[in-house]
Amino acid sequence: MKVIIHGPKPAAWQLDVVCTGVGYGGGGCRALLRVEEAKDVHFHRVSVYNDNDDLNRREQWFVRCPDCAVQTRIAKPPKHIQEFAVVTDDA
């Protein structure tokens, strides 16, 4: 498909994240990262058991540090970023 005329651009989004490895066992290098593009945002579903031992699939959003490759969890980004984020589902 070809876009003839692009629609209005969504508002710019950026997020500053300290590389801590939170949500992934820690070990980040404490670099300050600025995330601006959907291609830098990753998404997967993780399996977690709640207090009743029911298995839930929970969405988790994260970035990967370019310096040390450690993953750090972030809050769910806006919709236009979600749509183009990199899906890395666990098995």
Closest CA to 59 of 47, 69, 68, 49: 47
Q: Is 22 one of the binding residues for Zn ion (CB under 5 A)?
A: no
Minimal distance, residue 27 CB to Zn ion, in Å? 9
For the chain, the farthest-separated pair of C-alpha atoms sits apart, in whole angstroms, at 52
Q: Is 86 one of the binding residues for Zn ion (CB under 5 A)?
A: no
The pair of structure tokens assigned to 44 is: 């997967």
Helices H / strands E in the chain, number of each: 1, 6
**Which amino acid is located at 18 in the chain?**
V
Minimal distance, residue 67 CB to Zn ion, in Å? 4
Of 68 and 86, nearer to Zn ion (C-beta) is: 68
φ and ψ of 28, to 5 deg:
-70, 165
Minimal distance, residue 24 CB to Zn ion, in Å? 11
Binding mask 46-65 for Zn ion (x = CB under 5 A): -------------------x
* Residue ranges binding Zn ion (CB under 5 A): 19, 28-29, 31, 65, 67-68
